[in-house]
Amino acid sequence: MSRIGKLAVEAPKGVDIKLAPDLITVKGPKGELQMAITDDVTVTFDNGEVQVAPRDAEDRRSRAMWGTARANIANMVHGVTKGFEKDLELQGVGYRAAMKGRDLELSLGYSHPIVYKAPAGITFASAKPTEIKISGADKQKVGQVAAEIRSFRPPEPYKGKGVRKVGEFVRRKEGKKK
């Protein structure tokens, strides 16, 4: 029995939810998101609440997708109302980020600057040259963009230089001894 899947997802004011046989669309002040509904679950919408149930309670995959589908729908509702954010910080001499229109220009110690084009639905903000704020309505897309930017220069264990999430702990190693 899925404890998460049993909970109903409430649609707050200003959020419009539409159900098609294999697609759910959530529209709100921050945008519109769509998700394909798997055949393993049934989704119903009534009285401003979305209920998810497994199609076959004995099937292992149906039970697994039950909680997953409910969590994804809840993330869609949260995304179109409040949105999601990820904060990154740059550590290292000369490492900096700057906005270039909608895109992000990164100087990470390479011979050339890296220009990261903003995908649809994602916005960047850089208040300081060593901080990046990634925001958008789609939780998966925000996390993916943050992971891609971090992969340009992940934090290294000797000096701690690189791109890291705010608050991320980087385990340090001791250097060479004479």
Is a pLDDT exceeding 90 seen at residue 6?
A: no
Among candidates 78, 2, 79, 80, which has minimal Cα distance to 40? 2
**pLDDT tens sequence across 48-69:** 899 999 998 888 999 889 999 9
Report the distance separating Cα 153 and Cα 169, nearest Å: 16
Rounded (5°) CA angle 16-21-25: 25
What stretch(es) of the chain map to CATH 3.90.930.12?
3-81, 84-165
The residue length of the chain stands at 178
Is a pLDDT exceeding 80 seen at residue 44?
A: yes
- Overall fold of domain 84-165: Outer Surface Protein A; domain 3 (3.90.930)
**Mean of pLDDT over the chain:** 92
Which top CATH class is 3-81?
alpha beta
What are the distances in angstroms from CA 66 to CA 17, 56, 58, 80, 124? 19, 10, 12, 22, 33
